[in-house]
Amino acid sequence: MAEISGAGDVTKGGLPEDGAVLSDGRRTALWQPRHTSVARSVAQYSRFVGIMKILLPSAAGLLLLLIVVLPQFRQQDDRFRIGMNLIEESATDTLNMTNARYYGTDDKGQPYSVTAANVRERPDDDPAVDLTAPQADISLADGSWLSISAHTGVYNREQQLLDLDGNVSLYQDQGNEFHTGSARVDLEKGEAAGSDAVNSHGPFGSLEAAGFTMSETGKVVYFVGPAHLVLNGGQTAGSRAPTTPGTDAAGEQSGAAQ
């Protein structure tokens, strides 16, 4: 009987077992193939293909959208910056307002208002403002009123002076109205004057003159001659104009107002 002595390598079926320690101190590690299901592999691949069919067209569409839309945003951003620069530059020089209204009272405490479709302030703290389509309305203590309007005007807020130009029209609630080319209105004193040709008509008749002056907030109006008056009823006067209803009117051919 033979004996085997000494420490030998542990084998299994003629091969070292997995994890066995060999005589030289090395530990064995055997590779064993993994057994996978073919059906499972096919299912995973199909799922991957399905996901990519969705992701790839979506990514392409998003990229195309960015290519088309991004330049538009850049153009809008440029336009916005240009607009802001224009606004800031304009704001440093002047200030524009639409549908502006100014309020005040004359030296008798009678209220007035000045409105305009557009107001443009002047630089350097100038108290005057340029008006488009200005209109001044004055309420008198006796309940009557008068209104004056024009195409353009300049309003001095400190001096309460309103210079009107272009189709100046003055209306009184008694039915009298005056039309001239230009006029200056002192809102504080309730006075107005104009050196352009003026025509007037109302319940009294019609009148043409070379100019006018108004005082006492429209209660007294002097027409500067030469003046031509046609009264209702056919009467005419050339050198002097009689009193109109609610208004004292006088004119001389020499042009001096009385």
**Entry field: residues in the chain:** 258
Residue closest to 114 by CA, chosen among 95, 131, 97 = 131
CA–CA dist 229, 240 (Å, integer): 8
Are 225 and 102 in the same domain? yes
> What pLDDT does 57 receive?
81
% of the chain at pLDDT higher than 90: 35
> Is pLDDT at 130 greater than 70 in this prediction?
yes
CA atoms within a 13 Å half-sphere pointing along the CA-CB vector of 18: 4
Residue 258 domain flag: no
Are 162 and 178 in the same domain? yes
Say which residue, 101 or 57, is predicted with more confidence: 101
Are 110 and 72 in the same domain? no
Are 117 and 227 in the same domain? yes
Residue closest to 93 by CA, chosen among 57, 123, 134 = 123
Give the domain extent around 64: 37-93
> Is pLDDT at 79 greater than 50 in this prediction?
no
> What pLDDT does 195 receive?
93
The 10s digit of each residue's pLDDT in 190-228 is 999 999 999 999 998 999 999 999 988 888 889 988 889
> 75 by DSSP, 3-state: which?
helix
Structural domain tally of the chain? 2
Say which residue, 203 or 248, is predicted with more confidence: 203
Residue 50 domain flag: yes
Are 128 and 142 in the same domain? yes
Tell me the average pLDDT of the chain: 75
pTM of the shown model: 0.56
Are 104 and 230 in the same domain? yes
Are 156 and 111 in the same domain? yes
> Is pLDDT at 102 greater than 80 in this prediction?
yes
Residue 105 domain flag: yes
> Is pLDDT at 45 greater than 80 in this prediction?
no
Are 50 and 61 in the same domain? yes
Residue 252 domain flag: no
Say which residue, 207 or 48, is predicted with more confidence: 207
Are 111 and 84 in the same domain? no
Confidence band of 43 (pLDDT split at 50, 70, 90): confident
Confidence band of 117 (pLDDT split at 50, 70, 90): very high
Cβ neighbours for 162, distance < 8 A, ≥ 6 positions apart = 114, 134, 136, 148, 153, 154, 155, 156, 184, 185, 187
Residue 165 domain flag: yes
Where is mean pLDDT largest: 31-35, 164-168, 246-250? 164-168
> Is pLDDT at 6 greater than 50 in this prediction?
no
Confidence band of 52 (pLDDT split at 50, 70, 90): confident
Residue 28 domain flag: no
> What pLDDT does 242 receive?
39
What would the mean pLDDT of 220-243 be, rounded to a whole number? 71
Confidence band of 241 (pLDDT split at 50, 70, 90): very low
Residue 246 domain flag: no
What would the mean pLDDT of 5-31 be, rounded to a whole number? 53
By mean pLDDT, which of 12-26, 38-52, 95-109, 176-190 is the weakest?
A: 12-26
